[in-house]
Every structure is written in structure tokens, then in C-alpha cells.
Amino acid sequence: MTGVRGQLDRRVFMGGAAASLAGPPLARPAFAATGDPARPFDAPYAPVQVSPDRVIRSVVGLRPYRAAGFVLKRENVARRTLIHNYGHGGCGVTLSWGCARMAVELAAETGERRAAIIGSGVMGLTTAAVLAQRGYDVTLYAEDFPPNTTSNIAGALWFPTSLYDPDVAGDAFLAQFRQAARLAHRDFQHLANRPGYGVWWLRFLELHDAAPATPLAPAIEGNDLYPGRAASLDPEANLGFPYAVRFHALMIDPDHFLPALMADIRRAGGRFVQRRFETPGAVYDLKEKLIFNCSGYGAKALFGDDAMTPISGQLTLLLPQTDIDYGYVNPSEDGLAYMFPRRGAIVLGGTTNKGDASLAVNDAEKQRMLARHAAIAASAR
């Protein structure tokens, strides 16, 4: 992805960990659950209650990773215009609106007003929403729809990660990434605290065991997308860690955001058709002459993209806490650990098993994750 920013290599953001008790929450107003404005960094941090008896479930998803970066291009084939928009690694939700708008711009000069979209993850839904906003006749085809998509499993903090290998991706891709990120962030800003969309601001911390040897590097997509971004050397303000990079970030809850998108598309006249595509020919047989390929990891088999590599990520969901109004990520020799609050759960991650296409939950990894986050919660008291 974008390399080391704030001394955290966000090319591979997810990590692992695993179980003890964190203690009771602090008694104070519920910000995360209500969507109230983000609190200042010096406000108290309630500890997450991490214990096996608070686990709701564990799930595994596959990030569609490409070392060279995502594919966003147009081609003419079988008397159809095919626009590819896939391969976003761990950035699907983060880049969704931006890549959707850029993909639709590629279609503008075709003159076609009827569009088919392959895939019902966040890329397919945001592309459909943008098309519908612009008056296109839209049909979305997919084998599964939310809540049964990889996008439903996403951590969904607005924080680009697991996106590309800087030794492979070139300057043209970095420029494309920056444009997509800035476009996407602007759309999510407009949705923040809007009822029903599950988007809000929260304070976020990159927690480190030691201060870095080099200064905090700027974000390629722009520091202005992370209000208040600054380094802190105060352990009492850093959940007990000697060094942290703190900023306010947008949090997106897929369990609210994806259904809201589907409702918007339906209100605009869009249609959802359940269909599985085994070959490119089946795609080209569609009646629509304008087709958007938003099939995510499915593009590997459907369109023969052998550059696509799965990166499996495991999440463990805990019972929600209304007093958790912050998130964090902590890299260590043991991997990374991250925590995001949602309305319906506390999300603990994560793992980054590159090349692993298994969707089976690893119980040992689950226990390691619980223990790691419990230790972080204990330091937050």
C-alpha cells in the first residue's frame, strides 16, 4: 500500500492476537453508539471488555490483493464496453466512492445509459449508486448480496491498507490511488452522522512500543484527510504506550452502510438479479452493452487475473460497548492488532495470511487475538 506512514507499514494493516478480562467500562456518555461528534484526544479512554464470554462470533474474509494495485480501466470486447473496478485489497470500503466515480467517468463518453454491474460488494453497490444518481438504468448481478458478501466482513475504518507493493506499483498507480482516496473521503464526509448510513468520526491511535528513528511521514493521500494527525510521546495519553500517532478518522459500519446503499439504489429504480457467472462469455451475453466488473476476488477466476492474491483476515466480534468511542492499531513483533467499535459489536482483528484462500476460522488465532487485545485494554485503565 502506501508504505510506512506514522511508522506503521499500512501495506499489511491486519494482525493477530488472543483472552483475559479487561474490567468494567468507565461511566460516561455513549458517543460511538449514538454517532455524536468525535471526542478530543485528551478525553478518557474506556477499556474494551475482552473475554471469551463476550464473543459473538469469529469470521474470515478474503482481501483481493494485487501487488501492482487495483484495476480501474475500460476495454471494448464482444461489442460491449467493459469497465474493470476490482482488486482493492484491504481498501474496498475506504476507496469505494472514489473508484466508483472514476469508473463511471470512464463510461460517460460511450453514450450508453443502461448499465450492468457484476458483483454486490461495496464497489458494486457504490458504482450502482453513482450510476443511479446520474440517471442510468442500472441492474446489479451477483451470486450473493449483503449481508453475505466480503464487504460485510470488512473492518471498514477509513484508513487505506493492504493495497499494493511499492516495489511493484508505479507512479501512475499512486496518482490514481490518491485521486480515488480523496474523492472517496469527500463522499464519506457528507454521510458522517447521517441517519441510517452508519458513518461517523472517531478518534484513532496508532500505538507503538517505541518512538521511531525518523520523523512522522506525510500521508500520500493527504494529511488533511486525518484531522489532528500528530505524534504523541505521552504514555498516559496513548493507552500506556510510549509513542502513538493520533488523528480523527471516519468509521463505516457495513451492517448499516451496505443496506442503506441498496435502499438508495432501489429507490432510484435499480434492480438486483441473483446470477452466477462462470465464464466471461456469460457476462458478455447480458443485454446491457455497458458492463462494470466489480467482482472483487472473483475476478481472478472469472477474468483470469492471475496477479490477484487472497489475503485472509480473521475478525472476532465482541458484545458492543457504548462507551468505546475510539479505535486503535498496534503493530508488534507478534503482528498487528486492531480494534474498531461498531453499533452492534466491538471488532477485533486481525490476521494477514497472504495466499491463504481458506474461510475456516482458526481457533488458536482467535485465542491469541483475544489475549493481545485484553492486554491492550488492561493498559488503558
pLDDT for 36 equals 59
Confidence of residue 34 (pLDDT cuts 50, 70, 90): very low
User: Who's near 348: CB < 8 A, 6+ residues apart?
Assistant: 17, 50, 315, 316, 317, 318, 337, 338, 339, 369, 370, 373
Strands 346-349 and 308-318 come out as antiparallel
Q: Please, what's the b/e burial string for 317-335 (b: 16 or more CB within 10 A of its CB; e: otherwise)? A: bbebbbbbbbbbbbbeeeb
Give residue 18's pLDDT. 26
What would the mean pLDDT of 304-316 be, rounded to a whole number? 93
Flag whether pLDDT at 312 surpasses 50. Answer: yes
Residues 135, 113: Cα–Cα separation, whole Å: 8
Share of the chain above pLDDT 70, in %: 90
* 159-186: average pLDDT: 93
Element spanning 346, H or E: strand 346-349
Under the banding of pLDDT at 50, 70 and 90, the label for residue 355 is confident
pLDDT tens figures, 208-246: 999 988 888 899 999 999 999 999 999 999 999 999 999
Cα–Cα distance list, 77 to 80, 127, 285, 322, 324 (Å): 5, 20, 11, 51, 50
pLDDT of amino acid 37: 67
